[in-house]
Amino acid sequence: MKKLIAGNWKMNGSLVANEALVSAMLSGMGSEEPVADLALCVPAPYLAQLQHLLKGAKLALGAQDVSAHEQGAYTGEVSAAMLQDFGCRYAIVGHSERRQYHGETDALVATKAQRALAAGITPIVCVGETLAEREEGHTEEVVKRQLAAVIHTVAHCTSEIVVAYEPVWAIGTGKTASPEQAQHVHSVLRTQLAAATEHPERVRILYGGSMNASNAASLLSQPDIDGGLIGGASLKAPDFLSIAAAAR
């Protein structure tokens, strides 16, 4: 299975900037088949623009969140069916920023993953520990608990999710888990998935803690790292394409 390189623009972008960035990415990709599956997860207001810009391109569209509700009186929420309307292939759920700033629980994240799957959208389920949790030796306990909630809820559909390990202490800080540190946690998650589904090999586990053009190759060479969830580097076409090229 190809590795997956998914960009997360976070709360960045404008109509003008997005067009320039996507244009640079597409021209840099050329006509050859990418060595990895590529996706861009963009703010909800820009889904329509990106759906148009990416039409026919080898770059999939993703959302940064999805509602746990199907429809109704939930002002400001965006449902899985709405994301489906815009051709979204992926939706990030449980990003550490959502957990930290919006109080999202493991159970809520699991429900969001379930909603995405029901709409034919692949959830990118984020798990990861804070610096305090790592220093106290709780890394494995935390990531296994977060993933277990999703496995319990989506059950037989577990093989259809993507997992992203994001050490919270390495997001946007410039700090990165060493390839060995990242591989260890990915291996723990792989073992957990193997016990939960008949097809653990179908689940790609991405690394999402400040992966950039200079460290991508060493991280992606690890046996259980199946791609990256890319933050800041996905806002620069050369950097994103360099990471994608390293995913061989």
Catalytic residue among 95, 104, 129, 186: 95
Any binding-site annotation on 10? yes
Catalytic residue among 97, 129, 160, 166: 166
Any binding-site annotation on 174? no
Any binding-site annotation on 210? yes
**Helix %, strand %, coil % for the chain, to 5?**
50, 15, 35
Q: Strand pairing of 205-207 and 122-127?
A: unpaired
Any binding-site annotation on 232? yes
69 is catalytic: no
Complete DSSP assignment for 202-247: G--EEE-SS--TTTHHHHHTSTT--EEEESGGGGSHHHHHHHHHH-
152 is catalytic: no
Any binding-site annotation on 55? no
How far is CA 63 from each of CA 87, 138, 149, rounded to the nearest angstrom?
Answer: 10, 30, 21
Q: Which residues carry out catalysis? A: 95, 166
Binding residues for substrate: 8-10, 172, 210, 231-232
